[in-house]
Chain A
């Protein structure tokens, strides 16, 4: 069975500092990996995905994520955090090529402090 772990419920970062939101996964085959962001009272917005190819994936709003197969991780990163990045972040995985829905992590609340 596929699963995702986000070990941190909350991450606090000062504006301008780099940020990392951690994600590890477990699948039986090769993973499709996704990051989503949720702002208050909104649905989830897609940030980026890893399917195959380069381990460093670039996405929306300056975010990027690094796929590490040996550590089964897909950490979300940004070189310089903005206050407007404060939101909930969800990592998700699908086990390809099986017809399985996305499985989400529990979410990490990012607070960027001015």
Chain B
């Protein structure tokens, strides 16, 4: 069982609200990722981090921002939520230290966000 946690699991929020989706892992992994999953299933990488104070934008343009102040924590923030942000958000982590990139990623259970 992977030790990576996302909160909340479900969130319904009004347009214009600021929200933060939490992601924490207790495995000491250096790399962390945020994916947005369409209702039709496809996964899109929106942010990733290679370690503390490192963040990068992914393939899909996103109005969200992330921070990585601590190794175990990688929150995602939407300053002003819109209905187009309605989606499932998946957080993942993996460790590359000493493995040359051979390890798989572990995923949290996801946050299903609905903006009304």
Contacts and interface: CB of A to CB of B under 8 A. Distances in A.
B86 to A, nearest CB: 15
A101 B104 contact: no
30 contacts: A34-B104, A34-B105, A41-B109, A41-B112, A42-B109, A42-B110, A43-B90, A43-B109, A44-B90, A44-B92, A44-B107, A46-B106, A49-B102, A90-B43, A94-B101, A96-B100, A96-B101, A97-B100, A99-B50, A99-B101, A101-B31, A101-B33, A101-B48, A102-B33, A103-B59, A104-B35, A104-B42, A104-B43, A106-B42, A107-B41
Summarize A's interface: helix, strand, loop or mixed. Answer: strand
Nearest to A49: B104
Contacts of B110: 41-43
Interface residues of B, number: 25
B93 to A, nearest CB: 11
Contacts of A102: 33, 45, 105
Nearest to B44: A104
Nearest to A106: B42
Interface string B86-116: 0000101000000011101111111010000
Nearest to A108: B41
A107 B106 contact: no
Contacts of A99: 50, 101
Interface of A: 32, 34, 36, 41-46, 49, 51, 88, 90, 94, 96-97, 99, 101-104, 106-107, 109
Contacts of A32: 101-102
A22 B109 CA distance: 25
Contacts of B101: 32, 94, 96-97, 99
B58 interface: yes
Contacts of A97: 100-101
Contacts of A88: 41
